[in-house]
Amino acid sequence: MTTEYDAVIVGSGPNGLAAAVTLARSGLRVAVFEAEDHFGGGAATGEITLPGYRHDLCSAVHPLAFESAFFREFGLRRRVEFVVPEVSYAHPLDGGAALAYRDLDRTADGLGVDGRAYARLMAPLVDRVRGIADFTSGSLLRVPGDPIAAAWFGARTLEQGTAAWNLRFREQAAPALVSGVAAHTILGLPTLAAAGGGLALATYGHARGWPIPVGGSGAIVAAMVNDIRAHGGQLFASRRISSLDELPSARALLLDVTPRALIGMSGERMPARYRHRLERFRYGDAVAKVDFALSAPVPWRDPDIARSGTVHVGGMRSEIAASENAVRAGRLPDAPYVLVAQPSLFDESRAPAGHHTLWAYTHVPAGSDVDRTEAIVRQIERFAPGFRDTILGTRSETARQVATRNLNYPDGDISAGVPSLDQLIARPVLARDPWRTPMTGVYLCSSSTSPGPGVHGLAGWWAALSALRHEFGVRTRPDLSPRL
């Protein structure tokens, strides 16, 4: 039987595009189908407040851009211009701020009596950053390539993910700095999964920095789309796929969708036992997002915060934990944790001269329809008096609206499934090759699979490598490097 394509990918988020890059580089005939009118999913950039102000629709700062194994092989740093702020992230406090420099020693110097304790916490991880990245880049059922890195990471996660998390600290700045990163996971605090996610991100921040793509996250997507087309792949936008039967014939189908969507698309093709396993996959809490067009930079009380591309707003560790645990309990906190990105401080293409953009998320219960603009503004103003006066325009999305914009964010869950410890080990099912389904030639390659959420392309890359082995008998990884 003649097939129209060798491989068809549904969904053009970073994982779907990574799968397409990998398969096209293997010489296969590849097609990508995207439901929206643009490629990239959450990794997209557009004017959504006022003309001339360019905002990232979901991801804005990219801690994994330099350490993702896929992006390393793809040569992302040679394809996209990045700015790497000297301060990876900042954490305002009522009496000042904690700053996470790329230089770990300099970070420790600013943390007072806890500086040495913080350095001892992070140094073994920073020294083995590649081992940490590789350990967390795929299925956790693999044997670690660097067992020592995995052991250090496990020990530190056990400490910061349990009631022991404050034992090494005496003051407020250092633990707040750790918790601000852990809260990215949208999990309760302290928990093992939140600690692991936060420590990995912090490790990249000190070892490599948190890069900001010039022109926005869409630049990363453009690099992958261009590579797919350069190697014969075809991409189709505004093509929503509701059933696998709607797709052209192909030897391999790779789906950058949630398990819930896969069940609906597969119909009777899916074995009942596998369907039951996917139906047990749990989705997590959500985000509400606000983008701001500003007449001036955010007037942080501590001016050093302007040296960072990312700011974790929420106060002390205990305040952040209370906020995140309230969300886990189904409540909207009065003083929420707010994740802020200020890319226009480092990339002049984001706003008209002298003006700025600001990107802000806060966490909310799944499916919330509450606009959190005022709560976000009030919390930023706590550390930046006068912020409200700089606002020229806003665009707010509730969790429900986030879900409507992107089908891979069910009820506003941008992780596409709660990244709890059990669901990082079994994502979406317990298997050494969790991307391969029992349906012939069908693979799942979204953030609902290992290694989980983030702009890294790894789920798509691993799924594509699995498809190459099982459907095409190819065991050699294709060369993904840029070619002149």
pLDDT tens, position by position, 22-68 = 999 999 999 999 999 999 999 999 999 999 999 999 999 999 999 99
In this predicted structure, the answer to whether residue 135 has a pLDDT above a threshold of 80 is: yes
* Range of the structural domain that residue 13 is part of: 5-49+215-281+413-472
Classify residue 140: in a domain, yes or no.
no
**What's the pLDDT at 1?**
44
In this predicted structure, the answer to whether residue 143 has a pLDDT above a threshold of 80 is: yes
Classify residue 27: in a domain, yes or no.
yes
Classify residue 361: in a domain, yes or no.
no
Classify residue 400: in a domain, yes or no.
no
In this predicted structure, the answer to whether residue 419 has a pLDDT above a threshold of 50 is: yes
**3-state class of 203 per DSSP?**
helix
Classify residue 61: in a domain, yes or no.
no
pLDDT tens, position by position, 105-127 = 999 999 999 999 999 999 999 99
Task: Produce one character per residue of 346-361: b if its CB has 16 or more CB atoms within 10 Å, e if not.
Answer: bbeebbeeebbbbbbb
Q: What is the number of domains present in the chain?
A: 1
**What's the pLDDT at 3?**
76
Can you give the CATH number for the domain in which 245 is found?
Answer: 3.50.50.60
Classify residue 314: in a domain, yes or no.
no
Using an 8 Å Cβ cutoff, are 184 and 60 in contact?
A: no
pLDDT tens, position by position, 71-107 = 999 999 999 999 999 999 999 999 899 999 999 999 9
Find the angle CA(302)-CA(303)-CA(309) to the nearest 5 degrees. Answer: 105
Q: What is the average per-residue pLDDT within 361-390?
A: 98
**3-state class of 176 per DSSP?**
helix
**What's the pLDDT at 483?**
79
Amino acid at 207: A
**What's the pLDDT at 252?**
98
Classify residue 443: in a domain, yes or no.
yes
Classify residue 24: in a domain, yes or no.
yes
pLDDT averaged over every residue in the chain: 97
Amino acid at 458: L
Which DSSP helix (H) or strand (E) runs through 7? strand 5-10
Which DSSP helix (H) or strand (E) runs through 43? none
Using an 8 Å Cβ cutoff, are 405 and 13 in contact?
A: no
**What's the pLDDT at 2?**
58
